[in-house]
Chain A
Amino acid sequence: MSEEPIISIQDLKNTFGEQGVHEDLDLDVRRGEILGVVGGSGTGKSVLMRSIIGLQEPAAGEIRIFGERIDMATAEENLDLRRRWGVLFQNGALFSTLTVAENVQVPLREFYKYLDEQLLDEIATFKVVMTGLPADAAPKHPSELSGGMRKRAGLARALALDPILLFLDEPTAGLDPIGAAAFDELIAELKEALGLTVFLITHDLDTLYTICDRVAVLADKKVIATGTIEELLATDHPWIQEYFNGPRGRAAVAAQG
C-alpha cells in the first residue's frame, strides 16, 4: 500500500473575527501512528482538531481525510466519513441523561438499526470493559463516575463504531499521574490491537515520551516542526528547546530512564 497520509492538511487558515489562529498550516498524519500535537495555550490545538473533524469551517486551505476533502463532501459522504473516526472530547462530553452503556450505544443505534437489544447490550459492556472500566460502570450515569472513569467511558463511546482514526483532546489532563500513565498504556494497547491511527492533543510530556511516534509543534500560527522527539530536540527553535529542556521536560526524560 502506498504511504498516503490518513490526514493531510495544506495551507489551512482559521480566523475568529479579526484574530487569526492558523495561517498556512501544513500537517500530515501517517497511517498507524500516534501523532502528538503540542503547543502553548491559545495556539489553536483544539481549533485544529475541530477543523479536521468538521466542527469549525476553515477560512481557507484544504483538509483531506482518507484522501477525501471534507469541505467538498456532500452530507451523505460526510456521514460516511464520520463513522470512520472517533472523538474523545476534553471532558468526555458524555450525554448526561443517558447511562454509560446507552452512551456507547448511541452511534451504533444511529447507524446500524439492525442490531438487536441483546447484542447492543453485550457490545456496550465489552467496549466499556475494553477501556478498563469495570462492567458494572455500564448501567451508571456519567454523574456517578469520577473524572478519569468518565474519560474512559468517553473513549468507549469514541470506539463504538471501531473507527480507524481516533482524536483525543488532552486525554490525560486532570488525571492523577497513576491514572494518566494507565490511560497512556490503554491508548497504546488499543492502538496496537485495533490498528488505530491516533491524533492526540496533549500537554503531558510523559505521554509524548511514552506513546507518541511523532510530535507536531504548533506555534506562530502554524506547525513549526514535526518529527520524533530526538528530531525536535535537534532544531533550535526557542519554544521547542524550552518545552523539552525545561525542568518538566528533563524530569520526563529522567523518568524514561
Chain B
Amino acid sequence: MPRGEFIRTSTAMSGEADFTEVDENGERILRFSGRLTVARLGEVPARLEELGVAPVRADLSAVERIDTIGAWILHRLERDHGTEITGASDHAKQLLKHVCSADEPQPARLDDRNLIVRTVEQVGAATIEALSSLKGLLAFFGGLMIATGSVIRHPRRLRLNAVVQRFESVGLAALGIVGLMSFLIGIVIAQQGAVQLRQFGAEVFTINLLGRITMRELGILMTAIMVAGRSGSAFAAQLGSMKLAEEVDAMRTIGIPPMEALVLPRVLATTLMMPLLGFYAAIMMIMGGGLLCWYELGIPPATFISRIREVVPMTDLWVGLIKAPVFGFIIGLTGCYFGMQVEGNNEQVGLKTTAAVVQAIFLVIVLDAFFAIFFSSIGWI
C-alpha cells in the first residue's frame, strides 16, 4: 500500500471534521462529515472563513457527532450567510437551537483600545492611586493619633500583652538576621575603604569611614529596610487576611476599635524597636569592620576601639537614634495602612503587602535625605 494512501485512511478513521463544496443546480452546498467537535474541528473554522461563495445549504447528514462548538460554527454560517442547514440529527438541531439562543453581541474587551489612550489612562490612574494612597496614609495617621490620645487618657485600654508580643516578633526575632547582615556589611565597607584609602597611604582612615557611616546612616537605614521587609510586610499580610475574614468587622461590632487593638501595638512595637535594632546593627557593623581591620590592616582591636571613640562624635549617635523611631513609625504605619486597605479577594493581600514594603522603604529613604540636610544645617556634621 502506498504511504500516502495509508495516511489518508488513518485520518478518515479518526473522524476528523471535514467538508466538501459541491455545486448542485447552481447552488453552492457544503457537505460536512466526521465529528464536528472541538477536538476534531482542525482546519474547518479557518477554511469556512475563507469561503469564496456564500453557501446556500449545509448538509449534515454525514456528521457523526457534534458538540456546542461545532454547532456554533454552523450557527455562524447560518447567521452570516443565511445558509440553510439540512440533514441535522435531533441532537444537532437541539444544540443549534441552544447555541442560537445564547448568541449575543460580543462585549468590547477593555484592552482593545488605542495604545496611547491606554498608556495615558494608566499614567493617570497610577498618579491618582499614588496621591490617594498618600492622602489615605495621612488620614490613617490622624486616626492613629486619635487612638493614641484616647489610650493616653485611659491607659488601661493599652493592650500590653499585644504590645509585648509584637516587641518579640519585631525586635527579638530579628536579632539574628539583622546582626548577620550588619556584620557582613561592616566587613564589606571596611574592605572597600581599605582598598581605596591604601592608594593614598591613608588606610588608617578606614576607621573614621566605618565608625561615622555606620552610626550616622547605614546602621539605621539597613535595619529600616530589613524591618520593612520582615515586619511591615507581615503587618500588611496579617491585617489584610483578618480584614478578608471579616475579623476586623467582628471586632468593631463587639466594640473593640481596631486602631487601638491591632494598629497601635504594631506601630508602637516598630517605633520602639527600631532604635534598639538600629544601634545594635551599627555596633555589629563596627565589629565586622574591626575584624577586617585587624586581619587586613593589622590594627589590633584595642587600638581600633580607642580610635573609634576618638573619631565618632556623640552627635553621630544622636543622629542615628533620632531617625530610628521615626523610620520605625513610618514602617509600622504603612504596613498597617495597606493591610487595612485590603478588600475583595486574596489577590489583594499580595498586592497590598508589596505596596506596603515598597512605600515604606521609599518614605524612609526620602525622610533620610531630609534628615541629612537638616542635621548638617544645624551643625551636626
In the complex, B136 has a CB within 8 A of chain A: no
CA distance A116 to B69 in the complex (A): 13
Q: Which residue of A is nearest B69, CB measured?
A: A123
Q: A96-B345, A162-B67, A193-B94 are in contact. Are A139 and B107 (CB under 8 A)?
A: yes
Asked if B110 is at the interface of the complex by the 8 Å CB criterion, the answer is: yes
Known: A114-B46, A127-B102, A159-B68. 6 other contacts (CB 8 A): A83-B39, A116-B45, A122-B106, A123-B69, A139-B109, A162-B38
Q: In the bound complex, do residue B107 and residue A136 qualify as a contact, i.e. CB atoms below 8 Å apart? A: yes
A129 with B45, Cβ < 8 A, contacts A108-B38, A194-B68 known: no
| Other-chain residue from B38, B103, B109 in contact with A161 (beta carbon distance below 8 A) | B38
B107 touching A193, Cβ below 8 Å: no
Q: Does A72 contact B (CB under 8 A)?
A: no
Residues of A within 8 A of B98 (CB): 130, 193-194
| B42 and A125 contact, CB distance less than 8 A | no
**A-contact bits for B21-52, CB 8 A (1 contact / 0 none):** 00000000000000001110111011000000
A146 CB–B CB distance under 8 Å: no
> For the complex, what is the distance from the CA of A108 to the CA of B67, rounded to whole Å?
14
A101 proximity list for chain B (CB < 8 A)? 109
The 9 A-B residue pairs whose C-beta atoms are closest, nearest first, are A162-B67, A135-B104, A129-B102, A130-B102, A126-B102, A136-B107, A193-B98, A143-B345, A143-B344
Q: Interface on chain A toward B: helix, strand, loop, or mixed SS?
A: helix
Q: Which residues of A contact B39 (CB under 8 A)?
A: 83, 111-112
Given that A136-B107, A139-B108 are known contacts, is A162 also in contact with B72, CB under 8 Å in the complex?
A: no
Whole-angstrom CA separation of A192 from B41 in the bound complex: 24
Contact B72 A126 (CB under 8 A): yes
- Residues in B with CB closer than 8 Å to A119 are 45, 73
Kindly state the interface size class of chain A when it binds its partner.
20 to 34
Cα separation A83 to B38 with both chains bound (whole Å):
11
B346 an interface residue at 8 Å Cβ cutoff?
A: yes
CB pair A121 B95 closer than 8 Å: no
Q: Is A41 an interface residue (CB 8 A)?
A: no
Residues of A within 8 A of B41 (CB): 112, 114-115
Q: Answer whether A162 and B76 are a contact pair too, CB < 8 Å, given A96-B347, A135-B107.
A: no
A121 CA to B111 CA in the complex, in Å?
Answer: 13
Cβ of B99 within 8 Å of any chain A Cβ, yes or no, is yes
Assess whether B106 is in contact with A121, with CB atoms less than 8 Å apart: yes
* Chain B residues close to A by CB (< 8 Å): 37-39, 41-43, 45-46, 67-69, 72-73, 76, 91, 94-95, 98-99, 102-110, 344-347
In whole angstroms, what is the CA distance A143 to B99 when docked?
27
Residues of A within 8 A of B103 (CB): 126, 129
The minimal Cβ–Cβ distance linking A65 to chain B, given in whole angstroms, is: 17
- Chain A positions within 8 Å of B105 at CB level: 135
How far, in Å, is A165 (CB) from chain B's closest CB? Answer: 14
Q: Taking the nearest CB of chain B, how far is it from the CB of A160, in angstroms?
A: 9
Answer yes or no: A97 CB below 8 A from chain B CBs: yes
A111 CB contacts on chain B under 8 angstroms: 38-39
Q: Within 8 Å of chain B (Cβ to Cβ): is A138?
A: yes
Task: Check A123/B345 contact, CB under 8 A, given A83-B39, A135-B105.
Answer: no
Within 8 A of B (CB), among A114-158: 114-116, 119, 121-123, 125-127, 129-130, 134-136, 138-139, 142-143
Contact of B72 among A112, A123, A138 (CB under 8 A): A123
* Chain B hits for A32, CB < 8 A: none
- A5 on interface, CB distance cutoff 8 Å: no
Distance (Å) between the CB of B77 and the closest chain A CB? 13
How many angstroms from the CA of A23 to the CA of B33 in the assembled complex?
48
What is the CB-to-nearest-CB distance from A30 to chain B, in angstroms, rounded to a whole number? 19
Closest Cβ–Cβ distance, residue B65 to chain A (whole Å)? 10
**Which residues of A lie under 8 Å from residue B67 when comparing CB positions?**
162, 194
Contact residue among B95, B110, B345, B347 (Cβ-Cβ distance under 8 Å from A193): B95
A122 close to B68 (CB less than 8 A) = no
A192 to B94 alpha-carbon distance, docked (Å): 9
Specify the chain A residue showing the minimal Cβ separation from B70.
A162
Would you call B37 and A162 a contact (CB within 8 A)? yes
The answer to whether the Cβ of A61 comes within 8 Å of any Cβ in the partner chain is no
Binary contact track A236-252/B, C-beta < 8 Å → 1, others 0: 00000000000000000
Which B residues touch A129, using CB under 8 A?
102-104
Interchain CB contact under 8 A, B46 and A116? yes
Residues of A within 8 A of B104 (CB): 125-126, 129, 134-135
